[in-house]
Structures are given as structure tokens and as C-alpha cells.
Structure 1
Amino acid sequence: MNAKSLFSKELINFDETFTYGKVLGSGSFAVVKLAQKKNDPSDTKYAMKIIDKKIIKGREKLILREISILHKLDHKNIIKLYDVFETSKNIVIQTEYAEGGELFERIIELGYYSENMARKTIHELLDAIDYLHSLNIIHRDLKPENLLLVDHKSDIRIKVADFGLANFDKNMLLQTSCGTLSYAAPEILKNENYGKPVDLWATGVICYILLSGYPPFGGESDYELYESAINAKYAYFSPEWDNISDYAKNFIDRLLTIDPYKRMTVKEALNHPWISVEINDDFNKKIFVADNIKKNFTAKQKFKATVEAIKAAGRMTLFSPTNTDKPNPLTLLDSNEPVKIVNENQSNTNEKSNIL
């Protein structure tokens, strides 16, 4: 199978160059497989995102945007892009392989976490966000599933992955509803203009989960979850939060702030006392969050049964209190796959499928 490199323009025989291993993940239009180069003495492993060209026909510009963003990035806490190949049937994105797997899986293996471990993990995430925002790049889909551990030895060193929804913006001009409902900022949910602050809101949600094992916002339906999020209705419940520091709670409060202009920026978050303070022994006490995480985020559903994708732009009108005919959104969408609808720079459906 011949393939052309986007970067070097070199033509290679893909089957003679790479060998595939286990499936690392899959979605509606792509599968990610472990891969290695044949006859490579280093035995370096890669994650290969294999995209079906037929399925993405008409949306090629979205794939190109993901590639162009990844190609710009070089940071210790962000998955590195090595190359992109095109075959007759697929686009193959070759990236760094984070051997440690998903952060949540490691916490479940450990059976616990600690406030200090959570603090260090969030610090690494903030470093990545700071780098992205310095380039006017917004991730837009930060969530625990997209936080991968560098290797099997580390419990806190992370790599941010999945830039399929990332975009450029510096003036709060984005409008498309996209991402995953339980991590989405109120301005996204309300179809308002948004920008960099959405990544800080998601960081607040992730931090809350790391310290408790469950999400800050919930409800019996997507509508209740939506109402909870847009009004920032959350609390620090006993017993999980009894021994968590006031520093941590204040840090979360300043991220889960409804007004994006009053929400902490990434620079402010990095300078917050919870991140910069000298730790004490209480920070290293074990927090037994694994059972809560298993209850809420595993079984390959990772909370997707009740917390699903944000609907396409305008779909949130289904949740409006003035709408008396509110069908269950989960009957309208695939409940096993977050819907990622992106209208910015939408490609023409007549565009050629050969994108390289």
C-alpha cells in the first residue's frame, strides 16, 4: 500500500515501513492503533490515527486544521506530531505514543490519589494550556480522557491529546457549540461568543473530579445538567471534600466562574496559591477517589450514558425553559460518541478528497 508523506512528500510502501499493533481507541470516523517502524533498532512506538477518507468527505478542512495545529506544537505536555500520510483510502496521522495510558486508569490502579498529586497534574495541564494560549490556540475539548501519562512510571506527568476540536482565536470570536457537555463552559452552552477561558473552565471541572472522583455538575437528564452548568450549581460534599484544602476549593471556584471575563486566566491560575504554595503534609494524604471514578467514568462509557455531546450549533434551544417540546437529546444523537460539530472554516462539500 503506497502512502505519501505530507511533510517530506516522500512516497513509501506503508505495509513495508510500519507494523500495526493493538487498537488504542476508536471513534465515528477514525481508529487509533499502536504502530512501530520495521527494522527500527530503537523500537519506538507511535499512535497512528487512521481516518477513513470516505467518511470525512466534505470535511477535509477540519482534518487539515487539526494537522496544521499539531504541526505547530512542541511542548513536553502535548502529544507530538511526527508525520501525516495519505493512502488511497485513509489519512494516517502519526503521533507520539504516551505509554502510561489514560490518567484515570492509573488512578484506578493505584486505588487513590492525593491533593498534591492532583495539584502537580493540574500544574502540568496549565503549562500546556499556557503554551497553547500563547499561540492563540484553544483546545476546546479538555477532559480526563484526553490526559495521557508519559510512561508507566509516572502518576502525574501528562500529555494533552486529541486536538480534533482545537482552533485559533484571540478575541473571543468563536461561536460553534462543540465539545463534551459536562466540561463545557456556560458561554458555549448558551451559544455566546467564547475564547480561551473555556479551557480554564474545563480545567476547573477536571480538578474537581481529580479531588472527588465525580463531576461537579449533574442531574437526571441532559437538561438538568445543562441548567446546573450554566448556573455553576455545584458544592463540596462530605466526606470527599472534608480534608481538601481551602486553597484547592478557591482555585476551583475561580475557574468555575460563570463570567468568562472574571474567570482566572491561565497566568492567574499558574500563580494561584494552590499551585505555587509550599505544600504541607496534609497535601500528601491519600484520597480514595478510585471507587468514585470507577462508578462514574469507566466501563468504556466514561460518563457518556448521562453526560453526552454538546449538540450542534443551535441545538441547545432544546434545553430552553420556553421550549415546551423538549425531546430527550440522547434519542437524537449517538449516545456512545461525543458529537463534534464545527462550523468554523467549514469546507465545501465539493472539495477534492485528496487533501495532501
Structure 2
Amino acid sequence: MSGLETIKLLHYGKCNDIFLAKDSKGNQFALKRFYREELEKRKEYINRDGKLVKKDWFEDFKRALEVQKVLDNESCIKLHGIFGIDFSPEKPTFEDEIDLVFEYAEFGSLMSLESFQEEVPNFPKEVIKCITKDVLNALLYRDFGESEFMTEDGKVKGSRGTYYFLAPEVLEINSSTLSIPDSFEIVELWIIDENDGNAIDMWALGITLWILYFRNFPFYGNSGSIYETITNIQNFNFKTQIQTLKPNNSHEKLEDEDEFVDLLEKILEKDPKKRIKPKEALNHNWLRNVDYEAAREYCRRNIKK
């Protein structure tokens, strides 16, 4: 394995755990430990026809790691090492536990923020900069996942990722082409029409900002089913949702809330052709002047260790 000493558990997940770890020199890292048995389980599900479907977890895992290995940008968490798996084309091997050693983000999770102050715009600005620079080359930064079949001109022919963050144009498909396991948060969507990869990215960013500010998920239904959520995404109306939330929003009001809501509305435009472009978003008033040092100080004050 990695040989690092684990200090404490940072996050518990369905198929992986994340630990704070350190090397012999005291340097700290985030160690993400995957469990092969759980990875295999997540690739088995019953489809709409009642048939058991088994997918190859190894190829998906390999593809995701290939993306991580080529990322080299100051705005992205760096992968330092991979242990417990060998992608040799002759005879790939893997252990029961697979460790990924990442750069440690010492200020913790954005979801741990106790407030949403004016310093926070540094996060979306960095994400948008990644999108405009094509940091992921032929892959999308969407829900920290990946896209399938992205063409050279940035069009997407298929998509996979957490369904909650997928844009409505990706979900506009016939039910016969939609494969969604009932208890599985990753969905695969095979679509005929190509879609703008940057527009899909921007939508996912908008949902993340919505959750950070309003502290709720805009698409959850009464049943909690994936199909109901997807229907809610397709029927989403920004102005209606905002007017419903604003009077009941317990979050402290931003001094520039109107500018924030204006940008959010432009990002969550359902028509991808009208959705704000990444470069346009970088010039929006809410993102124009970002104080990165203030953001760092804010994180130190507000994120609990």
C-alpha cells in the first residue's frame, strides 16, 4: 500500500473512505481508499426490465484514474500516487484496497462553511477558469466526474455522472435509452444529439452554488426517486424556485445578493444556447473582483477542524 500513516477519518463513503495521512517527514496528504468489493457491487443493478446488469468496474476506474493523472493545474487537487492496482495491459492486477494519495486541502469541505460571504466567489471563479482553459482536455469538470465521447469541438455525445448535477438537455432522451439503477447515484445517459460540454459544466456549477447558498437541493421530490428528480430537473423554473426560497431563506443575506442571483439565473438557464458562457461569467460583476487572501482567512475562521 502507500506506506503513509493514517491520522484520522475525514469522510466515509459508499465505496471509499478518505483519511488524513502523513509521510515519514510529516507532510500531510488526503488518502482516498477504495474497496474492490464495494466497487464491484456498485456495478450491479436491476434495470427497468427487471434484468440484472453487471458492468466492468475496472475499466471505469481505470479511465477515471487516467483523467486524474493528467490533471496539472493549480486549481485542481493533485494526485501524488496510486497504490494497490496495476494497469499492465498484459495482466492487470488489483488488491482488495486501492489507495489514491492526493494533495491535502487543509481548509476542508465547502459544505462545511458556516456562512456564504463575499469571499466565497473564489471557488466558482477557479472552476470556471478550469473550464475555459480545457484543463480536463477531452473530459468535463462536472460534479468532479467525467464525460463520455466528447468531440474535439467540445460537444458531448454521452454523459455519466451524479444524476443530480446533470443539465436538462442531457436528460432529454427516450426512456428506452435511460439506464438508472434505483439505488445508484451514478447514471449513464446515451443521447443522440450532441451537447455543448461547457454549457453542461456551467449548469453543474450553478447547482453547486445553489446548494452552498440556499442549503437545499432544488430537485428533490416527495418520493425521493431518481425518476422524480429527473422530471423535476426537466421542469425546473428558476424564478419560481427563487421566489419560493427567498422569504424562507435563513442564510445571512449577501451584500451583493442581487448580483449573485443574477449570475445564478444566467448559469441555470435551461436552454444551453442561452446559458452564460464561461468567459462571460468571469466578467460578471459578482466574480470580477475576488480577494483570494480574504477567502483563505475566511476559511480559517469558519471551517471546523
Match runs of 1:310-349 below 5 Å:
none
- Residue 22 of structure 1 aligns with an amino acid whose one-letter code is K
The count of corresponding residues between Structure 1 and Structure 2 is 236
The separation in 2 between residues aligned to 1:242 and 1:82, in whole angstroms, is: 38
- Percentage of matched positions with identical amino acids: 25
Alignment root-mean-square deviation, CA: 3.0
1:115-264 matched pairs, under 5 angstroms: 116-132=118-134, 135-142=137-144, 163=145, 165=146, 169-170=150-151, 171-181=154-164, 183-191=165-173, 192=191, 193-194=194-195, 195-221=197-223, 222=225, 223-234=227-238, 235-237=241-243, 238-239=246-247, 240=249, 244-264=256-276
Q: Quote the Cα distance in structure 1 between the aligned partners of 2:73 and 2:255.
A: 34
CA contact (8 A) 1:129 1:199 kept: yes
AA in 2 matched with 1:187: E
Q: State the shift of 1:261 in Å.
A: 2.5
Cα offset for 1:200?
0.4
**Preserved contact between residue 53 and residue 91 of structure 1 (Cα < 8 Å):** yes
Q: Residues 131 and 198 of structure 2 are in contact (CA less than 8 Å); yes or no, is this contact kept in structure 1?
A: no
- Of 75, 78, 81, which aligns to 1:77? 75
Distance 2:60 2:172 in 1: 23
Cα deviation for residue 132 of structure 1 reads: 4.1
> Which residue of the other structure, out of 90, 96, 103, is the alignment partner of 1:96?
103
- Cα deviation for residue 135 of structure 1 reads 1.9
Partners of 1:44 and 1:168 in 2: CA distance: 38
> Following the alignment from structure 2 to structure 1, what is the Cα–Cα distance between the partners of residues 166 and 208?
11
Q: Which amino acid aligns with 1:50?
A: R
2:23 corresponds to which letter in structure 1? K
- Name the residue aligned to 1:44: 27
Amino acid corresponding to residue 121 of structure 1 in structure 2? F
What is the Cα deviation at residue 81 of structure 1? Answer: 0.5
Q: Secondary structure at the match of 1:174?
A: strand
TM-score (normalised: structure 2) = 0.66
Change over 3 Å in CA distance of 1:168–1:177 after alignment to 2: closer
Q: In structure 2, what is the Cα distance between the partners aligned to 1:121 and 1:36?
A: 26
Aligned to 1:31: 17
Higher relative contact order (CA 8 A, sep 6+): 1
- C-alpha displacement of 1:69: 1.0
What is the SS of the residue equivalent to 1:188?
helix
Structure number with the higher strand fraction is: 2
Q: Structure 1 residue aligned with 2:286, among 250, 258, 274?
A: 274
